[in-house]
Amino acid sequence: MSAFSAARSADQPELDHNWEVRLPEPEVLRTAYARDGYAIVRGLFSPAEVVVMAGAFDRLQAAGLALGRSFRHGNLLFRLGDDPHLGRILRMVQWPSWRDAALDRVRLDLRFAAVLQPLIGDSLKQIINQMHWKPPGAARVEFAYHQDSRFRRPATAFRDLAGSYVQTGIAIDPHTRASGAMKVIPGSHWLGDLGLGGDGPILQQSMQDAALMAAGLDPAAAVDLELAPGDLALWSPYLVHGSGINTTAADRRLYINGYVRAENCDRGEWAFRAGRPQRLGAEPVLVHYEALHERPEPHFIDD
Ligand SMILES: O=C(O)CCC(=O)C(=O)O
């Protein structure tokens, strides 16, 4: 048995799959997404399901903080940061589904296949599986304005970004202006790649109006993507977005899954073939970690 399958726990609580939710009308979703570059599906996951996901966030956060340093095993990555107020914090985990069965079930939930089908079809790979935390009191948890297109490298492996890729985020907690909800510029996806964020990591830069203005965008056009727990946001790889600090007393957590029309991407784990969920294999495949095959073993990363 590989280290990866051994790492997955079998005794985590099941999501309740007896869901009844009104899925968006395909044409309404397609129109809103095409016009604005984003859309929201309200209440896609139930309060009980959000409790299960929140439990997974707590487990992974405890595991990440116990590591004490950023750590990688294959595509699984714990990214820690130093916060001036809180000290060491966990900023994000990539590919937690290698570690946590509850999160793995969510990313393969049939609701994703149903919501995404009108946008990118029913044969999908997954290139993002990621958790974000903004703990209360933290000062360094911003995401500078950017477009996700900047991360789709090498460019030759990611074809027809605009028509083939959709990023999604499930709110675990209330996402409000005060808690550091994403801010988006509606319609900015029509502008193509604007080179926002320069070469630096966007999670180590703050959200600056000046960056928008330098790209010819009006900061006053930014809207807060406010979400209730269980809501799903969907956005285009070219949508300009960022997010600020959390000034509330509660956590602000987001579970992000990014899907792609399979035929237009050489990277990623299969998620759905003809609408049917596909489990992770025995070993990870190449997604964004270029040294996956040279350095697959667990190791700490210098920050
Ligand atoms: O958690 C956030 O607010 C950042 C989300 C984001 O910008 C991204 O995933 O590209």
Residue nearest to atom 8 of ligand 1 (CA): 148
Q: Which atom of ligand 1 is nearest to the CA of 151?
A: 10
What spacing in Å lies between the alpha carbon of 182 and ligand 1's midpoint? 7
Closest atom of ligand 1 to CA, residue 252: 1
Q: How confident is the model at residue 243 (pLDDT cuts 50, 70, 90)?
A: very high
**CA–centroid distance for 178 within its chain:** 20
Indicate the burial class of 11 (C-beta count within 10 angstroms; 0-12, 13-18, 19 or more): exposed
The arithmetic mean of pLDDT across residues 94-119, rounded, is 97
Closest ligand 1 atom to Cα of 148? 10
> From the CA of 114, how far away is ligand 1's center (Å)?
23
- Enumerate residues lining ligand 1, CB below 6 A: 132, 143, 148, 182, 241, 243, 254, 256
Ordered DSSP codes for 164-212:
HEEEEEEESS-B-TTTT-EEE-TTGGGG----TTTTS-GGGS---HHHH
Per-residue pLDDT band for 208 (boundaries 50, 70, 90) equals: confident
203 falls in which pLDDT band (50, 70, 90)? confident
User: Distance, CA 144 to ligand 1 centroid (Å)?
Assistant: 9
Ligand 1 geometric centre to CA of 11 (Å): 30
**What pLDDT shows up at residue 2?**
44
Q: In ligand 1, which atom is closest to the CA atom of 242?
A: 7
The pLDDT of residue 303 is 61
Q: Where are the domains of the chain?
A: 24-44+109-281
Cis omega (within 30 of 0) for bond into 154 = yes
Cα 157 to chain centroid distance, Å, stands at 20
Bigger pLDDT: 74 or 202?
74
Interval between CA 143 and ligand 1 midpoint (Å): 6
pLDDT at 114: 95
CA of 242 to the centre of ligand 1 (A): 6
Return the pLDDT at 34.
97
In this prediction, residue 38 has a pLDDT band, given cuts at 50, 70 and 90, of very high
Residue 102 has, within 13 A of its CA and on its CB side, a CA count of 20
> Any idea which architecture 24-44+109-281 has in CATH?
Sandwich (2.60)
Torsion sign across C-alpha atoms 15, 20, 21, 23: positive
State residue 7's pLDDT score. Answer: 43
Confidence of residue 9 (pLDDT cuts 50, 70, 90): very low
Model confidence at 52, in pLDDT bands (50, 70, 90)? very high
Closest C-alpha among 89, 63, 88, 58 to residue 76:
63
74 pLDDT higher than 80: yes
Residue 10: pLDDT above 50? no
Cα(45) to ligand 1 centroid in Å equals: 20
Mean pLDDT for the chain overall: 92
Atom of ligand 1 nearest to the CA of 132: 1
Q: Does the pLDDT value for residue 197 go beyond 80?
A: no
Rounded Cα distance between 208 and 190, Å, is 21
pLDDT for 1: 32
Which has the higher per-residue pLDDT, 182 or 302? 182
For residue 5, the model assigns a pLDDT of 44
Taking the CA atoms of residue 177, residue 183, residue 186 and residue 191 in that order, the dihedral angle to the nearest 10 degrees is: 170
| pTM for this model (two decimals) | 0.93
Tell which wins on pLDDT, 150 or 252.
252
